[in-house]
Structure 1
Amino acid sequence: MTQVVNSPVAEDQGPFSPVSSLYAARALRDFGDGFVAVLLPVYLFILGLGAFEIGVAATTALLGSALMTLAIGLVGHRFDPRTLLIAASTLMVATGLAFTQSETYGAVLLVAFCGTINPSAGSVSIFVPLEHAALSHLVTDKARTAAFARYSLIGALAAAVGALAAMSPDLLADIGVSRLSALEGMFALYALLGIAGSVFYSRIPRSAASGETRPTSALGPSRGIVYRMAALFSIDAFAGGFAVQSLMALWLFSRFGLSLSAAGTFFFISGVLSAFSFPVAAWLSRRIGLVNTMVFTHIPSSLCLILAALAPSLEVALTLLLVRSALSQMDVPTRSSYVMAVVTPPERPAAASITSVPRSLAAALSPALAGALFAAGHEAWPLILCGVLKILYDLALLWIFRHVRPPEEQRA
């Protein structure tokens, strides 16, 4: 008999609990996204596609992923999240298998648009609004932010391991396996991860709401709050696009002549610091609140970025950038938790998608502007603009949402 949940699970964090099953599914999914994001351009190149065609395929995949994420948020209130997550896993299986059989450019574009593969390693995904809604339903208000911190930490570490797994085709080539066969094997592994993920998703209880009691619209009383958050988060994402990792690497290469191996080491350490800042953010939010945690960790990180842009030496710049890494991502679990907290449960899938998709679209605009500034010789300006815009975003967030408190912060 299928278990049905009427109220959140307080502290059900055992190894076989629904919450742990959701974490495991997230880890498998991000592990797959981690190696696919690296291997996708290599695979398409071996198929004979040029740089322009590969870029179009990546854009097509991003667009398809964004549209599906938005669509699932708008219709998610009509269905049980567990059912939709299992369906999304089935699509993941089909995507991996289809890529192993896609030999024409048209087929590649079709699978990229309709499938779950994301060249940005999962920042926008059909799974995200569903997982956010399910996780918020499974834990109490008091435990929600800590749960999102673990969720983010697990995803970040799994994606990092997945990126390392992208070396597998080279290792297999050393023992005589053709590069194309090895890459097809990795996409087959991606499909297997979808099967395993569906098993874990099946352990999530069904929602108690019946079809008759589900709301008729995706957003109801929280519509205004969601749209304001989406607009503000888009400003933050647009600012972040000026300092994406590839542009930061370019700046370090051109400004200080940093070697490729040193850059790899730096970004690995930076990623580890960011990942382990998630549980710290959860601890801090219990003391000063979710909005304050987002704002008062973000502003110092932005100041570090601005100062790094003006740093006189490589050592000073790297130190400032590492401090920034330890602070800049603390808003990830707190933002997710806050969005889920200030809307009603039926609105959660829509709120998650509507606040995440515009972020990704906005983030796609600024790297081109940053590249133009680099080309014009203004190499420090993208970093400065990123820092200044993020500080303005933080101040606006604090001003607009300072009185919109999640349930666990409201006084009796």
Structure 2
Amino acid sequence: MLLRRYKDKTVLHLQIARTLRSITQGIAVVDLTLYLKDLHWSGAAIGAVMSAAGLVGAALILLVGIMSDRLGRKPFLIVYEILTAIAALLMVFTTQPVILTLIIVLTGFGRGQNGAAGPFTPAEQAWMAARVPQSERGSVFSTNTALGFFGMAIGALVAGTPSLWREQLPGALGFHPLFVLMFLISLACVTVIATAPTGKTVDTASTHTRNPAPPAPALSNKATESTIRRQENRNMAKLAAVNVLNGLAIGFMGPMMSYWFSTKFGVSSSEIGTTLAVSFLLTALSSLITGFLTRRFGMVRSVVWLQLFGIAMVILLPLAPTFWLASAIYVIRSAFSRGTQGARSALSSSLTRDQRRGFSVSMNSLAMRLPSAIGPTLSGTMLDAGIFTVPFLITGALQLCSTLLYGRLFRGFDVHGSDEERPAHPDDQRKEST
């Protein structure tokens, strides 16, 4: 729907790649921890490697953000897809812990990134933001997120298929055909990204056509540039503070949900895959609805209210006595909380001008990924000890603090009135006049 209204071939290629990529991630988020469990890894060991993936990803994400602003975004995404393809193929031929750890750490397999390009996400988001007017970003990024969750739903369903050939490929061997499929999909992503058009960015001045502000003087001295950069830096610092809390919350249970379902209820990959597939499907629909809400009520206000409802579900989830009740609560929680990711990405990509956008996205992703790396180690150890409730309570408390702070610090970025658009930051008009 949105692509028919706002057509851009580069955006189309990026969204196709995200959809394909998310299928592989949907498979991994269900099956990776179960695969490692079949290889007799403990919950603490699985959590530790997930934490290591978060730390390495945080370091890479900062490097990619800075370098992609200088060298362009396309080469970094191609490198990521090639690395993912190689990693998926290696998982077919080896079960050596050192190699598996290296694969997970470099690619972020199993961390449920809904189609984002792992540590190379800043290049992806900055490239897309450069092609989309600021007034459309909330909707376009929400649509992009929805496509990722649709793909994750397909991948989660596919992840349950090892039960079909358990007699022929018992135990951990049953996951190998899925790794081959992930390899082939990653090759397709390489082709899609490689053929994406490159060219000039959109004219962001066209995003403020309704009730435009009076033109501001052109940049003419270093003092004005310094003022703009300080404002951008303040906005990035505020969002980074929010993302630290949100990252801590996400890290506690996000990468370990399949392991939690399996350990607490003793269910199979097929049952877990069905639950996650439904959650991804409803989250995709929620993301599309969020895109509409951002245009009606503003990005920040929409995120806050949806997140608050999702937090209530997080608190209730570990209290469910049966797998199917827990699944239903998880599905609802996912739809409300994770459906806001597109709107949050849109805000993150709108804090600076294009020449610093990759840096902005990487800094805020870094603020989320570093603390999220702590969670899996702690929650994995708790689950091994039979502590199934505390991780969710910690998650809920952290997300509540993050959400309230987000609403407080960024409420000024929402649209005020149906016919008035606020610029991405107070100095946007100066940039547009140059």
* Unaligned runs of at least 5 residues, structure 1: 1-8, 210-218
Q: Provide the residue aligned with 2:142 in structure 1.
A: 149
What is the percent sequence identity of the aligned residues? 24
Deviation, structure 1 residue 302? 2.6
Distance change >3 Å, CA 66–CA 34, structure 1 → 2: farther
The one-letter amino acid of 2:412's match is: H
3-state SS in 2 of match to 1:341: coil
* Residue 138, structure 1, aligned to residue 131, structure 2: yes
Alignment of 1:163-178 (within 5 A): 163-172=156-165, 176=168
Q: Distance in 1 between matches of 2:390 and 2:345?
A: 30
* Residue 345, structure 1, aligned to residue 357, structure 2: no
Q: Provide the residue aligned with 1:226 in structure 2.
A: 236
Deviation, structure 1 residue 354? 2.0
Greater Cα offset, 333-342 or 115-124: 115-124
Deviation, structure 1 residue 380? 5.8
Q: Provide the residue aligned with 1:187 in structure 2.
A: 179
2:195 aligns with one of 185, 203, 210: 203
Distance change >3 Å, CA 50–CA 312, structure 1 → 2: closer
Does the 8 Å contact 1:33/1:117 carry over to 2? no
Pick 1 or 2: higher relative contact order, CA cutoff 8 A, min separation 6: 2
2:17 aligns with one of 10, 25, 30: 25
The one-letter amino acid of 2:366's match is: V
Distance change >3 Å, CA 42–CA 244, structure 1 → 2: closer
Q: Distance in 1 between matches of 2:384 and 2:147?
A: 38
User: Which deviations, in whole Å up to 9, do the C-alpha atoms of 1:103-155 show, x marking residues without a partner?
Assistant: 64444444444x42522133670332222112112222232221111211111
Deviation, structure 1 residue 28? 1.4
User: Which deviations, in whole Å up to 9, do the C-alpha atoms of 1:161-203 show, x marking residues without a partner?
Assistant: 21222344443555x5687776444334323222211221123
Q: Distance in 1 between matches of 2:296 and 2:286?
A: 16
Q: Provide the residue aligned with 2:421 in structure 1.
A: 409
Does the 8 Å contact 2:47/2:380 carry over to 1? no
Q: Provide the residue aligned with 1:365 in structure 2.
A: 374
* Residue 116, structure 1, aligned to residue 86, structure 2: no
Deviation, structure 1 residue 227? 2.4
Q: Distance in 2 between matches of 1:243 and 1:292?
A: 25
Q: Provide the residue aligned with 1:6 in structure 2.
A: none
Does the 8 Å contact 2:156/2:277 carry over to 1? no
Q: Distance in 1 between matches of 2:320 and 2:175?
A: 42
Does the 8 Å contact 1:61/1:119 carry over to 2? no
Count how many residue pairs are aligned between Structure 1 and Structure 2: 388
Greater Cα offset, 327-336 or 258-267: 258-267
Q: Distance in 1 between matches of 2:176 and 2:266?
A: 35
Greater Cα offset, 196-205 or 164-173: 164-173
2:69 aligns with one of 77, 83, 87: 77
2:287 aligns with one of 278, 281, 292: 278
Distance change >3 Å, CA 319–CA 402, structure 1 → 2: same
Q: Distance in 2 between matches of 1:315 and 1:107?
A: 36
User: Which deviations, in whole Å up to 9, do the C-alpha atoms of 1:74-129 show, x marking residues without a partner?
Assistant: 2211111122212222222332334444464444444444x425221336703322
Alignment of 1:300-379 (within 5 A): 300-306=309-315, 323-366=332-375
Does the 8 Å contact 1:11/1:143 carry over to 2? no
The one-letter amino acid of 1:191's match is: F
Does the 8 Å contact 1:80/1:207 carry over to 2? no
* Residue 161, structure 1, aligned to residue 154, structure 2: yes
Distance change >3 Å, CA 303–CA 32, structure 1 → 2: closer
Does the 8 Å contact 2:48/2:377 carry over to 1? no
Greater Cα offset, 335-344 or 301-310: 301-310
1:400 aligns with one of 409, 426, 429: 409
Deviation, structure 1 residue 289? 0.9
Greater Cα offset, 94-103 or 368-377: 368-377
Distance change >3 Å, CA 406–CA 198, structure 1 → 2: farther
Deviation, structure 1 residue 208? 4.0
Q: Provide the residue aligned with 1:295 in structure 2.
A: 304
User: Which deviations, in whole Å up to 9, do the C-alpha atoms of 1:294-347 show, x marking residues without a partner?
Assistant: 112222333454567789999998877665444222421110011111221122
User: Which deviations, in whole Å up to 9, do the C-alpha atoms of 1:342-367 show, x marking residues without a partner?
Assistant: 22112222222222233233234346
Q: Distance in 1 between matches of 2:304 and 2:385?
A: 33
TM-score (normalised: structure 2) = 0.72
Q: Distance in 1 between matches of 2:315 and 2:294?
A: 25
1:236 aligns with one of 227, 232, 246: 246
Distance change >3 Å, CA 83–CA 329, structure 1 → 2: same
TM-score (normalised: structure 1) = 0.76
Q: Distance in 2 between matches of 1:18 and 1:133?
A: 12
Distance change >3 Å, CA 265–CA 36, structure 1 → 2: closer
The CA RMSD measured in Å over matched residues stands at 4.3
